[in-house]
Each structure stands twice: as structure tokens, then as C-alpha cells.
Chains A and B, each alone.
Chain A
Amino acid sequence: TLLGYFVTDLPIASSALQKILRFATDRSFNCISVDGDMSTNDTICMIANGAVETDEITESSEEYEQVKSQVTEFAKTLAQLVVRDGEGSTKFVTVNVQNSLTFEDAKIIAESISNSMLVKTALYGQDANWGRILCAIGYAKLDNLKSLNTDSISVSFIATDNSEPRELKLVENGVPQLDVDEERAAQILALDDLEVLVDLKTGNESAQFWTCDLSHEYVTINGDYRS
């Protein structure tokens, strides 16, 4: 279950607060996956008590967009900590889907990769199994295939430690890179933080999801929860 709350001393009108929280959640807590399960209790709430002496923030305030953006970045930080916990996880993985025709399609594809148990076990085992990533993209529950062109899609692992080459291409314009540098792949997959980049080249929208690997520890913890 995900529970969380933010509190602030800023005065924010309740309708503006609801919009800010909804916007922030859609880009943070609604973009994380540890195991693909949705709880009966997931709740994020926010209180603004107005202890700071300043004008109340409403949707028409000059500061509204700024506060919305600050709350969103803050929410991302907190949401990412949940993934970093991940019940025995050893890797924090950013799934970045870019150049999609729509934001919704980018998010659905990112979520599909993030929820794949086989992608997650491959990440745990540090296996550069790009086939499982493509497979998860292929069964993503898209309404139609306008964002997904099998001739233009590229998939890469991205190193997060500033080492070069930063990008290791696995599939380029729909063509698998059969001579993948396995040594470099092993180096990237050994990092605690990873990025999987999917470039759809069908539009300009992008979405990020944060996920983790699936470890033996996860099974140990969840095989014995009620006791």
C-alpha cells in the first residue's frame, strides 16, 4: 500500500490545492511500480494551513504554476523513495519513453515495461535482455498503434554514472543490435541506478516511470506477510 501526505504552511485555496495535488500525483506517485499491484488503501493527502503570511494561492495567482511545479518535483522525490525501498530491490530504474504521439501512450508503454516481472528479474540478474523490454512494449494496452511504429522504435540502456559511452543501443529503428557490447552492458547493468530509454519517433510527447528489480528478498518478505 502507498500512503503519504504533504503539509505546507502556505495558504492555498482548496480547489487549487486539489488541482495541484492531482497534477503532481499524475507525474509522481501514479508513475511508480514495484510489483504492479494496486492496493485497496492507496491515499495521498495534502494540507495547507496558511501559517505563512502571504496572499492565498488560487488558480489565478501568479505563483500558482510555480507552486504546482515545486509540489510536483517534491512529490517525485518522495515517490522515488518508495521505489528505492521496493521490498528487497537492488536497483532503481527510470523508464523513459520519448517522442510518442501522445503522453497517454508514452505512459502506458512505460508502465508496461515497469510492470513486467521478466524485465524486472532480468534487471536483478544484470542480464541485458532487450527482448523482454520489446515484448512488454508490444503487449502494452494501447487504444491503437499510432504511437508505436515497429520500424522506428529504438531501445537503449543509459549509464547513470557519467561513464562513456553513455548510451548503449539495443534496438535502433526497429533493428536489433545483434553485436551488443556485452561487456559495456554488464557495466551499465551493474549500476544501482539505471535508465531504459525507449524512443518511439512518432511524436513529441514523453513520460517517465520509475521501477525496480525483483529480487529473492521480495518473495521472502511477501511470502510471509500476515504473520
Chain B
Amino acid sequence: QHGRKVIDKYNLYVPTEGVFPKGYKVGSIASGVKKNGNLDLGVLVNTNTSRPSSAAAVFTTNKFKAAPVLTSKKVLESTQGNGINAIVVNSGCANAVTGELGMQDAQEMIDLVNRKIGKPNSTLVMSTGVIGQRLQMDKISAGIKNIFDNNALGNDFKSWLNIAKSINTTDTFPKLVSRQFELLNGQKYTLVGMAKGAGMICPNMA
């Protein structure tokens, strides 16, 4: 019982400002998948057109890979990591152990975003939440359309913090880190990262 105490982790670990890389916009929405009405759907879009983007990923080595894992892997394999311009993430439902229908749902999420950004085979998908339930695609589809049609994409701190919140499940705080780095040649660049996870955590990704 010595250990019992309350730590205000939100105040300790959530930033109040950030520096963000050029050429990205993010948006998030409460689609209604989460029963508590919290943000549960996020989209990140690359808006830079000066040269093609590149992408890479590592995935769970669990034998029961969820539909979004298999679908994103397929996208990366077919594109060799070139020309990936968007990520769509939902929380509240993991779309795992959902069979062929789950694969179709993951692909539909990707297709919707591809159509909105006008680029085929250009989106990765991630999901997190309860295992063994199908995605509520009516809510997810409406949410994706809503983000694009209402131009809810931004590159300000609040937009980045909100998309970090949108991927949370039982997390007690959103995990958002941004930092500017300098190369040996003096060129500066920026990295922003977000993660979610609180339980079921001992990854071994490859």
C-alpha cells in the first residue's frame, strides 16, 4: 500500500506548445465509436509537393495480426514505401480478429482517404481498441468525410494535440513530442511523433 498515490501525469508530460514539420496537416473528430464521445478518429496528410514522400513501418509479430496491420503492410510492400501521403487512425475498436470483413473495412478506410487526397495507394491505416468487434464503418466513413469536407485539417499545436488524443484508448495522457534538429551541414529539420499505449504493452515489432 506504500505505492498508492496520485500523479498528475497530464500536467507532467503533455506539452503546451510545439514545433512542427513543414508540409503536414492533421485533423481529428469524435466519430461516435467511443462511447464516451471523445475524439476517436484522426487523419494526417502530407501537403508537400516539392518531392515524393517516403514511408516505413514496423508491425507486431503477434500471429493474429489485425486487419489494419495486414492492410498497411500490403500498401508499403506494393509501393516500396514511396508516395505515402496519409495516415488514418481510429480508436475504440481494433478491427482485430475480424476476418475478411475486417480487411474490407480497413481497405475502405484507406480508399476513402485516398479519394479525398486524390492519390491512389497512398494511405496507411491503424486501429486500436477492443479486439474481436467489427468497425462501425458508418461512423468511421462519416467521420473521415467530415474531416475533409469541413476542412478540419490544421497544422497548429491544438490540431496536433487533438490528433494525439484521438488515438488514445485508456491512456491517461496524450503522448506528443516535437523537436527541431540540426544536421552536420547546418540544415535544420523537425520531427513530430505521437504514440498511444498504456496497457497490452510489450511490443516486439519487425
Interface residue ranges, A against B (CB under 8 Å): 1-15, 17-18, 20-22, 25, 29-30, 32-54, 56, 62-63, 66-67, 70-71, 74-75, 77-79, 81-87, 90-91, 111, 114-115, 123-126, 190, 192, 213, 215-216, 218, 221-222, 225-226
Contact = CB atoms under 8 A, between A and B. Distances in A.
B173 A85 contact: yes
B195 A4 contact: yes
Interface in B182-201: 183-185, 187-201
Give the secondary structure class of A's interface: mixed
B37 to A, nearest CB: 15
Interface in B76-112: 80-82, 84-85, 87, 89, 94, 96-97
Contact of A91 (B3, B48, B69, B127): B3
Given A8-B189, A38-B203, A54-B187, A44 B66 contact: no
A49 B7 contact: no
A18 B1 CA distance: 45
B190 A54 contact: no
B205 A44 contact: yes
Interface of B: 1-5, 7, 9, 13, 21-24, 44, 46, 48, 50-62, 64-66, 68-69, 72, 80-82, 84-85, 87, 89, 94, 96-97, 124, 126-131, 167, 169-173, 175, 177, 179, 181, 183-185, 187-206
Given A43-B59, A45-B57, A74 B66 contact: no
Contact of B199 (A35, A63, A75, A114): A35
Contacts of A221: 170, 198-199
A124 B80 CA distance: 45
A85 B199 CA distance: 9
Contacts of B185: 54, 62-63
A86 B196 CA distance: 11
A216 to B, nearest CB: 7
A39 B62 contact: yes
16 contacts: A1-B129, A2-B197, A6-B191, A14-B55, A38-B204, A40-B69, A45-B58, A47-B46, A51-B22, A51-B48, A52-B187, A63-B184, A66-B183, A75-B193, A192-B7, A218-B199
A49 B24 CA distance: 8
A48 B54 contact: yes
A4 B193 contact: yes
Contact of B66 (A13, A40, A75, A91): A40
Contacts of B169: 1
Contacts of B201: 1-2, 32-35, 37, 39, 82-83, 86
Given A34-B199, A125-B2, A1 B128 contact: yes
Nearest to B1: A125
A35 B203 CA distance: 10
Contacts of A83: 201
A16 B201 CA distance: 27
B54 A40 contact: no
B82 A14 contact: yes
A71 B68 CA distance: 25
A29 B191 contact: no
A14 B52 CA distance: 10
B198 A6 contact: no
Contacts of A42: 59-60, 62, 69, 203, 205
B76 to A, nearest CB: 8
List of 9 A-B pairs having minimum Cβ-Cβ separation, nearest first = A14-B81, A4-B195, A51-B23, A45-B57, A34-B201, A42-B60, A9-B21, A51-B22, A14-B54
Given A7-B44, A50-B50, A25 B200 contact: no
Given A33-B202, A38-B200, A14 B56 contact: yes
